[in-house]
Amino acid sequence: MSSREMFGGKNADQMKGSENVIDTRPVAAIKLLTLGDSGVGKTSLTIRFVCGGFENRFIPTIGMDLQEKIMVYHAKNSDGSKQARGQRVHLQLWDTAGQERFRSLTTAFFRDAMGFLLMFDLTHEESFVNVRSWLSQLQTHAYCEDPTIILIGNKTDLEAERQVAEKAARDLADSLGIKYFETSAKTGENVNEAIDALLEQVMEQMERCVDKATLPPSLANGGERGHKLREVDEAHDDRSGGCAC
């Protein structure tokens, strides 16, 4: 894909004179994974973000699917404003199958992912209850004990069918130290905001690694959020009587 295609028809010379300068360094590849039960809207969310469309038909993902998007990330200054110079990012959104029979394939991708979109269906309470099971698997298979996660309650367009209270979801997110968004893949509500928030956290973590030439404490030995994920894992074991099945 040419720079003209990626950046709305501007060529390199035009971009040099623009207010927002595009960094000419190689594109950073960022791999994000969507997780959650089958039917929560993982595929629809990634398609909405990348293509801007929505498909009403439900077709379960078989194994893994991939949506890709070239975009520009602007780091923040100390005052919270965005820096003028942007970094090109090759965002890879891996859509994982939620069915149990694909679980071993899904977990095999955990270690290579830089961030996770953990989703549930606001109209299906069981998918929210199962968030703890997904968190337990993340704690076991992710690249570290403190993975970067955004919790998403999808299908706000079906408010009349809501089964999960916003407060319950926010309380869970707060207890884990992660951000929570309520989205609609159908209308596009908060879809960009949720994925942008995860991308920002991942990029900031990468910048800290570069600045300090070392891994941050969260990657080295787990941080506060990682500790809370361990608590979720232990609680899950207690409820299941310690049985692995």
- 90 found inside a domain: yes
In a domain, 3, yes or no: no
Rounded to whole angstroms, the Cα distance separating 36 from 96 reads 8
Which tokens hold the place of 36? 């959650």
Q: What is the pLDDT of residues 13-71, one digit of tens each?
A: 444 444 456 665 557 789 999 999 989 999 899 999 998 887 776 555 555 678 889 88
- Determine, yes or no, domain membership for 159: yes
* CA dihedral over 10, 11, 13, 15, signed as positive or negative: positive
The domain total for the chain is: 1
Eight-state DSSP code of residue 143 = S
Residue 29 lies in a domain: yes
Rounded to the nearest 5 degrees, what angle is found at the Cα of 193, between the Cα atoms of 189 and 197?
150
Where residue 145 sits, what CATH number does that domain have? 3.40.50.300
Residue numbers of the domain that contains 113: 25-213
Residue 219: inside a domain: no
Q: Count the neighbouring beta carbons within 10 Å of the beta carbon of residue 190.
A: 18
Q: Is residue 229 part of a domain?
A: no
pLDDT, tens digit, 9 for 90 and up, residues 150-195: 999 999 999 999 999 999 999 999 999 999 999 999 999 999 999 9
